[in-house]
Amino acid sequence: MDLQKFVDEHAANTKNTLSVADYSDMQSYFNKLLELVANQQLPQETAVTELLKMITEVNQGDIQVFRRRIMFPEQTLNGGNWPSKTGNPSGGNRGNAPTRG
């Protein structure tokens, strides 16, 4: 999707205004979602759901909720418990982590 086209259509069809920083943060959020899906750390269905939530928040005027979602994706997606880049399940040696073989 062309971000500029989205911006223009959004501006023409809504009373809610987003700042330039919002659009920049939104692009970073999209990129993060795509990266997580590509690395198989986030199911594609979850990414689509997050995008739909974001659109709904903007359309309903929940701009503060929208901004929290796009500025802190780690806290929004998967409860902030993303898979470790080192391969440790659920953050490593916590008491509730599965035993290592």
d(Cα 5, Cα 9) in Å, to the nearest integer? 6
Other beta carbons within 10 angstroms of residue 74's beta carbon come to 11
Which range scores top for mean pLDDT: 13-17, 56-60, 81-85, 86-90? 56-60
Q: Are 4 and 12 a contacting pair, CB within 8 Å?
A: no
Residue 62 backbone phi and psi in degrees, to 5: -85, 60
* Residue 87 region by backbone torsions, left for phi larger than 0, else alpha for psi between -120 and 50, else beta: left
pLDDT tens per residue, range 20-54: 888 888 888 889 889 989 999 889 998 899 888 88
Structure confidence by residue, pLDDT tens digits, 50-68: 888 888 888 888 888 888 8
